Structure 1
Amino acid sequence: MNPQNRVAYLTLIISSLAIFLLATITIIKGDTNVSMTIFNTTLPVFASWIGTVLAFYFGRENFESANKQVQHIVTNLTTKSKSQKSIDTIMITPYAMTIFKIEKDSSIDNIKLSDLQEKFLTHKVSRLPILNFQNQIEYMIHQSKINRYLINKNLDAEDISFAIFLKDNREDENDESKRFIVVSKDTAIDETQKKLQKCKKCKDIFVTKNGNREEEIMGWVPDVHLLEI
C-alpha cells in the first residue's frame, strides 16, 4: 500500500472512531441538547480536518501533474517562438568570430598550414572561417581535418601550403572546406535548420544580407548553436 492510501485510510478510521466515541458518550448521557451541541461543534472540525489532509496528499499530486503539463506547454511555445525568429538573432557577429583573412595581395599559395594552426591554438577554436579581403566566406576549415591530414601523410605544417592541402582534399569525399550554407539575415531559424539538413555533412551557416556567397558575411552560426534552440 502506498503512503497516500495509508494516510487516507488512517484519517478515515480515526475520524470514524472519534465520531463513534462521541455518539456513544452522548447516548449514555441521554441528553439530546448536549448531544446536538457536541455533534454540531465537532463534526465540522472533523470534516475540515479530513478534507484538508486528503486535499493535501491527493491534490498535491494533481497539482504537480498539471504543473508539469503547463511547463511542457510553455517550453514548446518558447521553442516554437524561438524557431520562428530570424537567424540573425542567434548568429555570431564578425567582431566576435575568430577568422583567417586572405589579404588582397596574398593567395592560398602563400598561406602555410602552420599559419592556420597558430590561429587554432592561439584562440582555442576548432573551426576557422577563411574570408577573402572583401569579407566574403571562402572556406571553413576544421582543426581535426588538418591534424588528420598531416598525420596520415607524415608532413610538417610548415612545409605544406593551404593550396596543396585544399587540392589534396578535393579528392576526398569527406572534404569539409566548402560544406557550409549561406542564408539571408531574415531567414527563419527553423527554415535554416531544414536547409542545413539537406546539405550533406554541412555543419556551418553563414549569414549575409540577401543569402548570396558573393556578399560580405554578417555572421556565423555553427550547427551546435541550433541544437540549443
Structure 2
Amino acid sequence: MAYDDNLARRGQSLRDTLAIGITLTSIIGVIILSLIVIMKDDEDGSNINMVFTAVLPLMGSWIGTVLAYYFSKDNFEAATRSVSEMAKNVTPQEKLKSTAVKDKMIKREQMFYKKAPLGGLMLVDILDELNSGEWSRLPILNNSGHIESVIHRSDIDRYMAERLRRYPATDLSALTLQDMLNEYSDLESHFGVVSEKSTLADAKSVMDKVPNCKDVFVTQNGNLNEEVMGWVTNAIIVANAQV
C-alpha cells in the first residue's frame, strides 16, 4: 500500500512538472515570437494589431484552462473526502432506518415452513429437512397463513435430549412436532410482527422487546391475525446493519 501511494505521488509530481513546464515554455515562446513580429512591424502597425488580436485570446484561454484544471481537481477531491466522511459517520441504526423490510425479508414463497395440523409431522423428518436446506428454524403457520410459532433446530435437539433423559426407552423416530409443542408452549411467543411498510429498525425494535426473539414476520398491517408476507431474521438485521 505504501509503495502504491509513493508511486501515485511520483506520477502526480511528474504530471504537475510537465503541465507547468509546457505551459511556461509555450507562453515564453509566444511572447518571444510576438516581440519579434512587433519589432519587425510595418509602419502601419498591422503586425502589432495582429499580435494583440491573436495572442491575447490564446494566452487567456491557456490560463483559464490551467486554472480550471487545478481548481476543479481540488474541488473534486474535497467533495470526495466530504462524501467519505459522511459515509463513515452513518451509524448502524441509521442504516436500518433507511432499509425497508420488504426489500430484505425472506418472501413467503421462499420460506421453509409448515402448516397446521402438525400431528403427522415427525421430528426426525423435520430435522432432515432443516439439515438438507441449511435452515436453522421452522415457522409454523395455521391454515389461514397466520404465524403461530417458530421452532429452532436447537429446540428440537433440546426436546429430544430431555425426552431421552427422562424416558431412556423413548423411540425418537415416533415423536411428532405436535408432541414437542405440547410441552414447549412458550415457543409460540418468541417472535414479533411488523407491517410491510416498516423498516429494519422497526423490526429490530420489536425483536428487542420480545424475550429470546430472533424472528419477525411481516404482514400487511403488522397484526398477528393477518397472512404472513415475509420473514426477517436476526441474521438479516445484523447483515444490513454493517457500515
| Amino-acid identity (%) | 30
Deviation of 1:48 (Å): 1.4
Counterpart AA for 2:62? W
Q: 1:199 to 1:29 in 2, by over 3 A?
A: farther
Equivalent of 1:13 in 24, 33, 51: 24
- The whole-number CA distance in structure 2 between the counterparts of 1:47 and 1:86 is 54
Deviation of 1:19 (Å): 3.8
Q: Secondary structure at the match of 1:202?
A: coil
Counterpart AA for 2:64? G
State yes or no: 1:62 paired with 2:72.
no
1:77-226 alignment runs, 5 A limit:
83=97, 87=101, 91-103=105-117, 106-107=118-119, 111-143=121-153, 145=154, 149=158, 158=173, 161-162=176-177, 163-164=179-180, 167=183, 178-187=189-198, 190-199=201-210, 201-226=212-237
1:39-78 alignment runs, 5 A limit:
39-63=52-76, 66=79
Q: Secondary structure at the match of 1:49?
A: helix
Deviation of 1:9 (Å): 2.9
Deviation of 1:129 (Å): 0.9
Unaligned residue ranges in structure 1 (runs of 5+)? 171-175
Q: 1:150 to 1:179 in 2, by over 3 A?
A: closer
TM-score scaled to structure 1, two decimals? 0.62
Q: Secondary structure at the match of 1:98?
A: coil
Write out the 4+ residue segments of structure 1 that deviate beyond 6 Å after TM superposition. Answer: 67-73, 150-153
Q: Secondary structure at the match of 1:135?
A: coil
Question: For structure 1, which segment, 2-11 or 33-42, has the greater mean C-alpha deviation from structure 2 after superposition?
Answer: 2-11
Aligned to 2:50: 37
- The whole-number CA distance in structure 1 between the counterparts of 2:59 and 2:204 is 61
Counterpart AA for 1:217? V
- The whole-number CA distance in structure 1 between the counterparts of 2:234 and 2:82 is 30
Q: Secondary structure at the match of 2:130?
A: helix
- The whole-number CA distance in structure 1 between the counterparts of 2:33 and 2:157 is 87
Q: Secondary structure at the match of 1:128?
A: strand
> How many residues matched?
212
Deviation of 1:6 (Å): 2.9
Q: 1:96 to 1:29 in 2, by over 3 A?
A: same
Unaligned residue ranges in structure 2 (runs of 5+)? 1-8, 165-170
> CA contact under 8 A between 2:193 and 2:223: conserved in structure 1?
yes
- The whole-number CA distance in structure 1 between the counterparts of 2:55 and 2:196 is 72
Q: 1:158 to 1:11 in 2, by over 3 A?
A: farther
Aligned to 1:173: none
Question: For structure 1, which segment, 42-51 or 11-20, has the greater mean C-alpha deviation from structure 2 after superposition?
Answer: 11-20
Q: 1:23 to 1:89 in 2, by over 3 A?
A: closer
Deviation of 1:51 (Å): 2.2
